[in-house]
Amino acid sequence: MERWSWPSGGAWLLVAARALLQLLRADLRLGRPLLAALALLAALDWLCQRLLPPPAALAVLAAAGWITLSRLARPPRLPVATRAVLITGCDTGFGKETAKKLDTMGFTVLATVLDLNSPGALELRACCSPRLKLLQMDLMKPADIRHVLEFTKAYTASTGLWGLVNNAGLNDVVADVELSPVATFRNCMEVNFFGALELTKGLLPLLRRSRGRIVTVGSPAGDMPYPCLAAYGTSKAAIALLMDTFSCELLPWGIKVSVIQPGCFKTESVTNVNHWEKRKQLLLANMPGELLQAYGEDYIEHLHGQFIHSLQMALPDLSPVIDAITDALLAARPRRRYYPGRGLGLMYFIHYYLPEGLRRRFLQTYFISHCLPRALRPGQPGPIPTQDTSREPNPNLDSSSAVAR
């Protein structure tokens, strides 16, 4: 077929004009998605030049460009006005940064912290407007939850409560299931599931009245079996399923529910190496002798080293998560799931579509790769049966270390 020199100039002018207009209106962000879309359009243009007559090529390229820019455009957002939002876990990380951003946008922010005198709480008090109110709350203490519920109902009596951001989370052990005390599973469930459930149920009358939003920070560890994160992952799987149930049940009330599944980001609690060193030492100190003999202390040290090494890949810029939370609160049609973070699309593709062996190998390479326990190494004696199988490690494994994301 004969080539033509400028077959699609009109289509490119149309695409460029709309992209420029969207950029000026801040409906489009100049970044990798836009550049990738333009590269794909250029490839489509090349194919059209060789396979289609000029009118058809022009129509195909113009339609593809229009649809692409429509998909990349930010969805319409609701005005902030006098909306009030409650955010949990604002001592550090996602919660603190979300509280700061929403405050600058004009929200009335109720920010819960573990300690009203923590560095994060002092930072919020210093840099935010008087609209932001700090509340002390430990999700493991029902009395704290009741106090927050009573304060919120009284404080938002005139404005109403628009949104709840369940951000507070706990993960205080990185180890195999057999090595993790049952108490750590209970603690994770208490904060990540039962505490969030009690708080959400208590605020539903306010959210039903405002036809508002529930946004919950989950984790990919609740969707796929990350090595050594069973206690944390099972609690995040439970809260994600609960939010899916809420999403269906609260639809007639106009409440929209979203779950944020972030990748690994450099929050203070995640990258605190001293904290994880103390957790490892406490785990070793409370481990039954038979388990320590079967696995070996060097096995625990290896897991700890692999985990600390994996944190080097954590992303320092928290804005993708903050933007996702903001969109879930204000978008006219928020998504059910948000996946901020690098490489999550590949991870979920591997998890859902590749064989189990490849999935397991990928997670081990990406996160933690186990070594052989001591009892399974060549030349080592097998594990010695223990008479006292009912012994449980210290149940008070520092349950106060509730980590605010």
Active-site annotation, residues: 232
CA distance 134 to 329: 20
Position of tokens 């929209």? Answer: 256
CA distance 222 to 231: 10
- Contact residues for 150 (Cβ-Cβ < 8 A; gap 6+): none
HSE of 261 in the Cβ direction (CA atoms, 13 Å)?
22
CA distance 88 to 200: 11
Please name which of 76, 155, 158 lies closest in space to residue 330, comparing C-alpha atoms: 76
Position of tokens 């998560």? Answer: 321
**Contact predicate 403/235, CB 8 Å:** no
Please name which of 93, 89, 141 lies closest in space to residue 113, comparing C-alpha atoms: 89
**Contact predicate 293/374, CB 8 Å:** yes
Residue type, 265: F
In Å, how far are 85, 95, 176, 295, 372 from 376, measured between CA atoms?
A: 53, 43, 16, 8, 6
Please name which of 278, 177, 282, 194 lies closest in space to residue 233, comparing C-alpha atoms: 177
CA distance 329 to 163: 7
- Angle subtended by helix axes 93-105 and 119-127, to nearest 10: 10
